[in-house]
Amino acid sequence: MNRMIRGGDGSHWDECQELHWDCKIAMLDKENLELKIQLGKWKTKAEDDAQEIEILKEALDTRQTVYDQLLRDYMELIHAKTP
C-alpha cells in the first residue's frame, strides 16, 4: 500500500482516495453512512431478513474499524504538524 498523504491542495482524481487520507476518510464515511441507512431499513423488515442484517452489520463493523484507525492516524498526523 502506498504511503498516504493529506490531499489538501485541491487536486483530486478517480481513486485518489488510495493516496489521499482525507479522501479515503470521506469515502469511508460516505460508505459507512450508506451501510447505516441500509441497516436501518433492514431492521424494519420481517424476521426472515435477520441473516441479511448480520451481513450488513459485519460489513459496517469492518469498515468502521478501518475508518476509526484512519481517523486516529490522521488526527495524530495533524496534531504532529501543528506548531
Q: Return the C-alpha cell found at 47.
A: 424476521
Compare residues 15 and 54 and give the one whose CB is closer to Zn ion.
Answer: 15
**Which among 11-19, 46-54, 59-67, 70-78 is the span making contact with Zn ion, rule CB under 5 A?**
11-19
Compare residues 59 and 70 and give the one whose CB is closer to Zn ion.
Answer: 70
Number of residues that bind Zn ion (CB under 5 A): 5
For 20, the 3-state DSSP assignment is strand
Report 19-78 residues binding Zn ion (CB under 5 A).
Answer: 20, 23
Task: Output DSSP code: residue 5.
Answer: B
- Longest Cα–Cα distance of the chain, Å, equals 56
Contacting Zn ion (CB under 5 A), which of 6, 16, 49, 64? 16
DSSP letters spanning 27-55: HHHHHHHHHHHHHHHHHTS-GGGHHHHHH
Task: Return residues touching Zn ion (CB under 5 A).
Answer: 7, 12, 16, 20, 23
